[in-house]
Structure 1
Amino acid sequence: MQSMCRWFIPFNAILATISGSLIGFLVASIIRPPYSFFKFTIVHIGIGNIGNVPLVLIAALCRDESNPSGDSLKCSEDGNAYISFGQWVGAIVLYTYVYQMLAPPPEGTFYVEDRDLPIKSPPTNDVPEKIPLLPPPEPQPTELITSKEGKIRGFLGYLYERLKLKQILQPPIIASILAMVIGAVPLLKRLVLTDDAPFLFITDSCLILGEVMIPCILLALGGNLVDRPGNLKLGFRTTAAIIFARLVLVPPAGIGIVTLADKLGFLPPGDKMF
């Protein structure tokens, strides 16, 4: 990664999310969508172009004799590796940033009438007393709290809650971490990824699942569009603004980031696939 500057792939995904979200916030501030769709608009503009379409494009591109790598096999291997290397960051962004942005507002529901923009906290007047859904935890025994083991557990539990690790450690993220560990450790790589690996069936299973992933995603998308494409409460103006921002404003920003990185020497020289 350090010698070939491939660390820029996940870093680029983060920069693309930041720049896209800034564009989304600007667009949402101008068009002022309904209150319940303000953050929705920002998220769909900011991360809407992060998806699995590049995998389809790579498969088609590498079958062409004039592909960037020359060799179709090497083209597929490099292209899938580069795209996958950036997508695991997209999974982390999805389960952290997007999850928080689409969480219900303080009012408890998105559908609030007579409001255009969200507020950070509800008004101070006429606020019902908040009752916790779960009872407070029972007090710990004094000897457990004062013990070294109890302090360590309490500190780890505090970190677990503050960092929201339960939310972050989702199956796609765990799988990505395991894949990088296996690929980076020579012993584990020989057990799973080489042609004569004793556990090669794991790799074959992943390849089979990977080939059916995109058709399944498209089927699920089609199922979601059975009633109608979109929500009537979103409005035509907001829908048009999201499409315009994603297709016209966000791509030049991404191209600008990559071009600047190339000018600064962050991209590997001579790597046409990159």
Structure 2
Amino acid sequence: MGFLDLLLVALIPVIKVLFITGVGLFLALDRVNLLGPDARNHLNKIVFYVFGPALVATNLAQTTTYESLVTLWFMPVNILLTFMIGSALAWLLIKITRTPKHLQGMVIGCCSAGNLGNLPLIIVPSVCEESNNPFGESSTCFSNAQAYASLSMATGAIFIWSYVYGIMRSYANNYKEAGLTININSSQKNSNSESDLETCREPLLPSKDWVAASDEYSVQQQPHGNFETQEKSSALRKRFQCITMTMKKINLKEVFAPSAIAGMVGFFIGTVSPIRQTLIGADAPLRVIENSINLLGDPTVACMTLLVGANLLKGLTRSDIRPSIIIGIIAVRNVFMPLLGIGVVKAAQHLGLVGTDALFQFVLMLQYALPPAMAVGTMTQLFQMGQSESSIIMLWTYVVAAFSLTLWSTVFMWLLF
């Protein structure tokens, strides 16, 4: 296929995304108010807890086998590489633009975490639906595409709510310890644990000044023969309390998101032959369960894309964020990451780590070219830090992604064929 033919194949899915995103943006307008803040909140919960996990579980259960794991194992590694490379580029961007401290965690989140959920679920299967797609027969391509995109969504959820959440929370804590006013957790549920954390001032690895002060106090208050032992015991006890308070702040429900758990269930069903034969297939005795869950998963893509459009409405507000930061994030996500992604996937192909499936390699490359994950905006709301700035960044990065995704998808297919 020629470059222009591939460009047309790549353009159609992006147009679909733009159209549905535009509908979501329209429904969120104040004059329409069908996707206002309350409606978005309820719909997002339904997608997060019901529709998304159902889609992930059924797609992986239908298409994953024990033999396919030989190839699929590289996708979690590839996603981890996208986060690490994005974080390194974000660190350089922070140094170059001198990003304010309260925005540094958000910049790292935007550069490291791509939208690994709904965009691959739309773009990759839509490419397969085109009659002149380069990946072979449409039905087989479509089935594999949904499996790859579902695995991307499930794995991405784990990394976003562990890796990115941890980084952004760490930057928020450092900003607070510097004496700036940040309300890390505004929920009434965690107010008691937050007040307990306020009393935990000693660092896990104490500074020289803290050690010197504690030594001086111990010399004055304790007998010469016992002060050293009691000082060590007290320090260990305080550090253990700090670690305990910190662990209580980690929300395992977010780290192990429902889509991630559903992915594990889908893998288990697909790879264990007796269970697979019971649930999956036209002759399976319990196929009604699989069919029902499949129906629940069907609205996922449309609802998620409508929510993306509705959330972008907040980016139309004014903010004091410097244009250089926005341009830097756009450059990282739309120029440097895709170029490095080509190198990573080509190197993995040369080493025989990704098999020969061109569609799988296309998905791996695509993961480097996606705009920032919407979950980053959610985290800024959790930490009450950089909400308006993140909305503007999301708006501009998704506007640019409408063009860059088309171009990079074309380039990826051109390199693979």
TM-score of the two chains, using structure 1 as the length reference? 0.73
Q: Are 2:279 and 2:286, in contact at CA under 8 Å, matched by a contact in 1?
A: yes
Render the CA deviation track for 1:20-44: whole Å, top value 9, x for unaligned.
2111221122112222110111111
Task: Provide the identity percentage.
Answer: 28
Counterpart position of 1:211: 298
> What does 1:24-43 align with in structure 2 at a 5 Å threshold?
24-43=90-109
Counterpart position of 2:122: 56
Q: Are 1:68 and 1:75, in contact at CA under 8 Å, matched by a contact in 2?
A: no
Q: Distance in 1 between matches of 2:337 and 2:317?
A: 21
1:208 aligned partner, one-letter code: L
> What does 1:172-187 align with in structure 2 at a 5 Å threshold?
172-187=259-274
Q: Are 2:157 and 2:260, in contact at CA under 8 Å, matched by a contact in 1?
A: yes
Counterpart position of 2:60: none
Q: Distance in 1 between matches of 2:179 and 2:114?
A: 23
Q: Distance in 2 between matches of 1:28 and 1:4?
A: 39
Structure 1 stretches of 5 or more lacking a match? Answer: 114-129, 136-157
Change (3 A) 1:165 1:44: closer
Q: Distance in 1 between matches of 2:69 and 2:175?
A: 50
Change (3 A) 1:237 1:58: same
Render the CA deviation track for 1:92-141: whole Å, top value 9, x for unaligned.
1011012112223245499948xxxxxxxxxxxxxxxx951699xxxxxx
Query: How many pairs were matched up?
Result: 233
1:10 aligns with 2:96: no
Change (3 A) 1:188 1:165: farther
> What does 1:95-244 align with in structure 2 at a 5 Å threshold?
95-103=161-169, 104-108=172-176, 112=180, 132=196, 161=247, 166-167=252-253, 168-229=255-316, 232-244=319-331
> What is the CA distance between 1:5 and its match in structure 2?
2.9
1:91 pairs with one of 130, 154, 157: 157
Counterpart position of 2:389: none
Change (3 A) 1:227 1:272: closer
Q: Are 1:20 and 1:45, in contact at CA under 8 Å, matched by a contact in 2?
A: yes
Higher helix share: 2
Counterpart position of 2:393: none
Q: Distance in 2 between matches of 1:70 and 1:53?
A: 21
1:244 aligned partner, one-letter code: A
Q: Are 2:124 and 2:149, in contact at CA under 8 Å, matched by a contact in 1?
A: no
> What is the CA distance between 1:249 and its match in structure 2?
1.0
Q: Distance in 2 between matches of 1:16 and 1:260?
A: 15
